[in-house]
Amino acid sequence: MTVPKASPAARTDARGAGAAFDVEAVRRDFPILHQKVHGKPLIYLDNAATTQKPRAVIDATSRFYEHDNSNIHRGLHALSERATAAYEGVRGKLRRLINAELDSEIVFTRGTTEGINLVAQSLGRAIVGAGDEVVISTMEHHSNIVPWQMLCEEKGAVLKVVPINDAGELLLEEYETLLTSRTKIVSFVHLSNSLGTINPIKRMAAAARAHGAIVVVDGAQAISHLPVDVRDLGVDFYAFSAHKMYGPTGTGVLYGRQARLEAMPPYQGGGDMISSVSFKKTTYNKVPQKFEAGTPNIAGVIGLGAAVDYLEALNRPAASAHERALMERAIEVLTAVPGVRMIGTAREKSSVVAFELAGIHPHDVGSILDQDGIAVRAGHHCTQPLMARYQVPATTRVSPAFYNTREEIDAVGRGLHRVIEMFR
């Protein structure tokens, strides 16, 4: 299918600072949106699972394979030098994006999951002992539960869980009472993938630091919706994935404070993370290469750099306001549907609207909406303990991005009325 291209004027209107947000111009940057599913125009509202990719990211990845494909750091020939320069240049883009202090504080990973596991298995195993504590919350993704469970089981440590209220907000006073002198690590999500709740990271980090604890943040959802300033937030580690910020899959970032990273042992052994190797002794490379064993996803990192460029070229305040309006419209449309119960009604909320429809399983809701070309997520969203808190097996989740439209949100409402008619 031929995808219409945005004119330079349209692109300026959509992205220029101070200009109104032109969603139609932005949509022309995303080839996948211009197709039909089951004979209906695609309405993609599963952005919390993965975002679609603009042409700029697709082209950057293809261009690398067509012109610069080579392994990095090791080669003396032109292709290797170009690939290395492009790969390493992305660290600076990410440093600026999250206001890290140094390029070397940016560690490339396969995604948020690997970033959290890196901290748990490297730093966690070094500092957590029997009787020590790790604190997480009820709303965490499995990726921010299981690594800490594994660590606590291995070390004989205690995993503490911060409760939430019915709106999906952390009980901060209870969080602060959970912190003790034995608390070594706190790890919590910035923006919940199942509730949309935005947690007060700065306050939580300050409370943890007052007890000498290390602060780890799962930023997978927040990175594409909220401004992130790791120094202002006061965190030690912040992990996120490229594919949830319009970049490729299989690529991610772990920000870590330089002093923390330097004190940590390597997570994996292999090529590129070493300085020298003999059968008697191996010495390790400097940070961040110490944590990047083996050939990385070079094309993915270069695509991530293109995604950062794309986001920075947008009028981000206007894009955020557009996303906010879409979320509010989704709440309005869904609450008007008979039998809908909203899951997650926090005062500080973004990008995620989850619900259950009385008497109808979310999998059936998702399947029927798909017949109308509407892609939503139905399931436990890798947050089974959170589903248990709300006494539901699963929810249906609508997660808008800046390329979605009000008309697409309204189509979900019509689709739900069709679901109800089919089951009644």
* pLDDT means over runs of 10, the chain (424 residues): 36 50 97 97 98 98 97 90 96 98 98 98 97 98 98 98 98 98 98 98 98 98 97 98 98 98 92 85 89 94 98 95 97 97 97 96 97 97 97 97 98 97 88
Q: Where in the chain is the domain with CATH 3.40.640.10?
A: 59-312
Tell me, yes or no, if the pTM score tops 0.85.
Answer: yes
Q: Cβ distance 233 to 202 under 8 Å?
A: yes
Q: How far is CA 223 from CA 18, 97, 200, in A?
A: 22, 9, 15
36 pairs with which residues across the strands?
41
- Residue 37 tokens, joined: 């599913």
Written as one string, the DSSP assignment of 58-101 is: HHHHHHIIIII---SSS--SHHHHHHHHHHHHHHHHHHHHHT-S
Cα–Cα separations (whole angstroms), residue 379 to 10, 280, 345, 384, 392: 38, 51, 19, 9, 10
Distance CA 36, CA 401 (A): 19
pLDDT value of residue 133 = 98
Beta bridge partners of 353: 398
The CATH number fitting domain 8-34+315-423, selected from 1.10.238.10, 3.90.1150.10, 3.30.1780.10, 1.20.1440.230: 3.90.1150.10
Q: Alpha-carbon distance 180 to 111, whole Å?
A: 31
Q: Which fold has domain 59-312?
A: Aspartate Aminotransferase; domain 2 (3.40.640)
Grouping H, G, I as helix, E, B as strand and the rest as coil, residue 371 is: helix
Q: What count of other Cβ atoms lies within 10 Å of the Cβ of residue 257? A: 20
Catalytic, out of 161, 293, 342, 382: 382
| 288: amino acid identity, one letter | P
Phi-psi region of 333 (alpha: psi -120 to 50; beta: other; left: phi over 0): alpha
Alpha-carbon distance of 109 to 41, in angstroms, equals 35
Closest CA to 53 of 401, 412, 319: 401
Do 412 and 45 touch, CB atoms closer than 8 A? yes
Tell the residue number behind the tokens 């191996």, with chain if given.
282
Other C-beta atoms lying within 10 Å of the C-beta of residue 143: 21
Closest CA to 399 of 245, 142, 195, 241: 195
Closest to 267 (Cα-Cα) out of 240, 287, 241:
287
Q: How far is CA 33 from CA 3, 54, 225, 403, in A?
A: 9, 10, 20, 9
Report helix, strand or coil for 8.
helix
Q: Is 152 annotated as catalytic?
A: no
Where exactly does CATH 3.90.1150.10 map onto the chain?
Answer: 8-34+315-423
